Structure 1
Amino acid sequence: MPLHSRNNGGLSTPLLSSSTPSSSNSSDTDESPAPLSRRYNNDFPDLHFTIPKPPISSSFQSYKSLAVLSGHIGSVSSLALCGEFILSASQGRDIIVWQHPDLRQFTKFGQGSGSVKALLAVGNRVFTAHQDTRIRAWKVSRSSENVFRIINTLPTTKDCLGKLMRQSNYVQTRRNHKKLWIQHADSISCLAFHNGYIYSGSWDKTLKVWRLSDFKCVESIKAHDDAINALISSNGAVYSASADGRIKAWRRTEGNSISTHSLVEILEGHKDVSFNTVVACEDGRFLYGGGSDGYVMGWGWGGRKVCEVKAHEMAVLCMCIMGDFVCSGSGDKSIGIWRREMNGGIFRVGVIKGHEGPIRCLQASPLSVGGGFMLYSGSLDRSLRVWWVPKYCDTAKSEEKSVFLRLPSA
């Protein structure tokens, strides 16, 4: 199960089972997965250098994916940019490193460490969250043969040994079962970084805070009434999205050598609907959450709601933001491209189809390519696809109906 959602009884259930399958089919012919590890669209052999930026009045042809990257043994669960690399993690326990932006497979690491649920790159370090309730820290170094070298596992052995003998350090996790408060009791679903601290959210409903300098767990927060599915840091706060239908904002306060987090805001979603993903604009003005009912909701400063849009026929599983564009991936196998207005509202300017399974993760590249940007999508169909999203969209009709993305003729 990639995510958790909330049913009427308040129990965690498989996310996709609560959604109604889409009955509509695209009129475009979807591409089949490539038999090779990398396949480029023949119309764009030199993608990164030759895509021109045409005027809005140029003629267009149907959109096409730029590359289909395969090689994972399980569904693609998470993506992250790390310098010159893009990392894709899998439920099959493997992490593939691709050269960015030329998309060549560079190496693999993390095999055998448990199903990977989340990736986070911080400087020259990469953190991977796993179904086995552990976080692994890797150092990126060109000076060794093993470029991605594991340097620690969280919680660290030292941290555990220091708390092992005191009964007050144990918490009840299940009937007749206790764990140290620094240990997650269920799969870690998401990671975030803010101001020297790593944050991990889990299906055990807790949010844990790890100090980056020594990997020590400094706080455990009983954050939600159901599984935590996503985290994002923005405006000096960390936002957690949960299957309990709420997004909560947490802010760190300094005490007498003790750092604690306080709940500063609660954003309510639809009743009995899980929040699966949360993203924030770069300037922190707007925050968006995607739900298991296919809706995208947005808020401005002070918790003011700025939009509520039925974005997909099935659950919104992931989102990302690039400038004025919001991208949403869904269980209906499609990616919605939305333009953000000055007031925070969004309207659809494109729909991308091509995956044969639900879209589990999205990552946009800040690299400008031919007047657009590159978008990476990972799916339960085990593939990573690469798309080019133009920044010049004819928005005159987009508020009335969705349109397909178009690419310029070669």
Structure 2
Amino acid sequence: MRLRSWLAATCSQDESAISFPKTQPSSSSSSSSSSSQRRRVVSDTSSSSDIPSSASISSLQSNLSLQTLPSVPSLQKLITQFETPNLSVSHLCSTTLNPKPSHPITCLAVHKNRLYAASAHEINVYDRADFSHLDAFNAHDPSSGSVKSVSFSDGKVFTAHQDCKISVWEITPSKRHKLLTTLPTVSDRLRRFALPKNYVSIRRHVKRLWIQHADAVTGIAVNNGLVYSVSWDKTLKIWRDSNLRCLESVKAHEDAVSAVAVSKDGTVYTGSADRRIRVWAKPLGEKRHVLVATLEKHKSAVNALALNDDGSVLFSGACDRSILVWEREDSANHMAVTGALRGHGKAILCLFNVGDLLLSGSADRTVRMWKRGEDGSYCCLGVLEGHAKPVKSLVAVTDSGANGVVSVISGTLDGVVKVWQVSVSVSDVPNEQKAKRY
């Protein structure tokens, strides 16, 4: 199934709506059916409207996401109801970047002191200290299509592309990026091409090696020497970092897979346009990953996944405008939904967890900041406003010695990257106030 860029189609007529995959004309009925399902699922967001910039946090309980997930309780509290009433939050947009040429920002990533911003097929690299431009790579290969994901492992940079391939780069001593190979590698293909059993049907009369993705690679995650990739071809593939060979290919979903997250213990979570999140693990002594659980609560396409630091909480964002919070059950090795975080007026497009903060970016052109309390409730600390188009990608980092300041970086479909300095602190309560409280 050949898919055009997700920029070819939009959720609605509103210029701020996010766009999704659209098929080219094909004789394959299954391909057109799959694409139709994707467009039908994501159209749930078309009836929503932007949240007015003056909307107060007190209106969170009555927003549009209740219409699609009324059975899921809300987890958030107002700041005045939160367990830390003397919480102080401030944020400031310190830098705005406009990578050239001006294309939608499809992916952001931070590695050490470098910021990677993917704009169409080109990846720009900036120094995070002063945001000076360090390098631009893949600029001369427009045939690779837009970059969907950037990840890092063992000194290598992995980039996922629209053209079904994963590129592997090394950083030279001069801080430039040099292409090492693409996955699957030539040697891996040569090892398998002669045996018919190594081929799978991707559509009528078309076969490919099972180690090859057959459509756009949409996400990459790295953990413990393994690289996990997901694709619109509905599969999850696992690669070994050391020799770059494909170890497994799993038919993960019934529709395009758009997100992947991996916990430190190796549990893999995949989110799809089929509205499901699936949990994968490799049992002790086994060679392959098996399906552990299927998480079903979303009413439309799952666009983003994020895990907290210890992997005990999973966050999922979808076109139904809600962020669902899943926590590990004591009696099982998978997650169960505990509630929803509401406030965005359109599809959730990206999530990022840093420390005890969760950041969510949406087609409503805002970024929301959520903080978890000790009782499992959440508070919306604030809304980052100022983007003119949907927020497609987020990344955040807390530097040592930053005195609690978190650098939040957001990228949008109009090719703009904004850097925000967010400060969250708890002020001391005067003794007389403590006496009154107790």
User: Per the shorter chain, which TM-score range?
Assistant: 0.7 to 0.9
Cα distance change on mapping 1:15 and 1:381 into 2, 3 Å: farther
More helix by share: 2
- Tell me, what secondary structure is at the counterpart of 2:289? strand
- Tell me, what secondary structure is at the counterpart of 1:244? coil
CA contact (8 A) 1:75 1:382 kept: yes
Instruction: Say whether 1:94 aligns with 2:122.
Output: yes
What does 1:56-75 align with in structure 2 at a 5 Å threshold? 63-73=91-101, 74-75=103-104
- Which residue number in structure 2 is paired with residue 387 of structure 1? 420
Aligned length: 360
- Which residue number in structure 1 is paired with residue 304 of structure 2? 277
Query: How far did 1:114 drift?
Result: 2.8
- Which residue number in structure 2 is paired with residue 399 of structure 1? none
What per-residue deviation string (whole Å, max 9, x for no partner) do you get for residues 276-307 of structure 1?
11101101221110111110001111223222
Query: How far did 1:344 drift?
Result: 3.6
CA contact (8 A) 1:358 1:379 kept: yes
Instruction: Say whether 1:210 aligns with 2:243.
Output: no
What per-residue deviation string (whole Å, max 9, x for no partner) do you get for residues 188-215 of structure 1?
0000112211010001100011111111
Query: How far did 1:4 drift?
Result: 4.9
Instruction: Say whether 1:364 aligns with 2:396.
Output: yes
Instruction: In structure 2, list runs of 5 or more residues that go unmatched.
Output: 1-5, 8-18, 23-32, 56-85, 330-334, 428-438
Mean alpha-carbon deviation: is it higher for 161-170 or for 351-360?
Answer: 161-170
Query: Normalised by the size of structure 1, how large is the TM-score?
Result: 0.81
What per-residue deviation string (whole Å, max 9, x for no partner) do you get for residues 150-191 of structure 1?
111100011112211221111111122111111111100000
Instruction: Say whether 1:174 aligns with 2:196.
Output: no
Mean alpha-carbon deviation: is it higher for 369-378 or for 176-185?
Answer: 369-378
Distance 1:306 1:72 in 2: 43
Cα distance change on mapping 1:335 and 1:23 into 2, 3 Å: closer
CA contact (8 A) 1:184 1:202 kept: yes
What does 1:290-329 align with in structure 2 at a 5 Å threshold? 290-302=317-329, 303-329=335-361
Instruction: In structure 1, list runs of 5 or more residues that go unmatched.
Output: 29-55, 395-410
CA contact (8 A) 2:41 2:273 kept: no
Distance 1:224 1:177 in 2: 20
Cα distance change on mapping 1:345 and 1:83 into 2, 3 Å: same
- Which residue number in structure 2 is paired with residue 341 of structure 1? 373
Query: How far did 1:65 drift?
Result: 1.2
Cα distance change on mapping 1:203 and 1:4 into 2, 3 Å: farther
What does 1:80-159 align with in structure 2 at a 5 Å threshold? 80-90=109-119, 92-111=120-139, 112=141, 113-142=144-173, 145=174, 147-159=176-188
CA RMSD of aligned residues (A): 2.6
CA contact (8 A) 1:357 1:380 kept: yes
Distance 1:9 1:218 in 2: 29
Query: How far did 1:366 drift?
Result: 2.2
- Tell me, what secondary structure is at the counterpart of 2:371? strand
Query: How far did 1:226 drift?
Result: 1.0
What amino acid does structure 2 have at the position aligned with 1:311? G
- Which residue number in structure 1 is paired with residue 292 of structure 2? 264
Mean alpha-carbon deviation: is it higher for 244-253 or for 185-194?
Answer: 244-253
Percent identity between the two aligned chains: 35
Distance 2:338 2:307 in 1: 13
Cα distance change on mapping 1:137 and 1:344 into 2, 3 Å: farther
Instruction: Say whether 1:11 aligns with 2:37.
Output: yes
- Which residue number in structure 2 is paired with residue 78 of structure 1? 107
What amino acid does structure 2 have at the position aligned with 1:264? V
Cα distance change on mapping 1:163 and 1:57 into 2, 3 Å: closer
Distance 2:187 2:92 in 1: 51
Distance 2:399 2:376 in 1: 24
Distance 2:35 2:385 in 1: 34
What per-residue deviation string (whole Å, max 9, x for no partner) do you get for residues 108-140 of structure 1?
111114321111012311100000000000112
- Which residue number in structure 2 is paired with residue 201 of structure 1? 230
Mean alpha-carbon deviation: is it higher for 80-89 or for 63-72?
Answer: 63-72
Distance 2:94 2:41 in 1: 30
- Tell me, what secondary structure is at the counterpart of 2:152? strand
Query: How far did 1:370 drift?
Result: 4.5
- Which residue number in structure 1 is paired with residue 411 of structure 2? 378
What per-residue deviation string (whole Å, max 9, x for no partner) do you get for residues 18-59 of structure 1?
41342443259xxxxxxxxxxxxxxxxxxxxxxxxxxx698x
Query: How far did 1:340 drift?
Result: 1.1
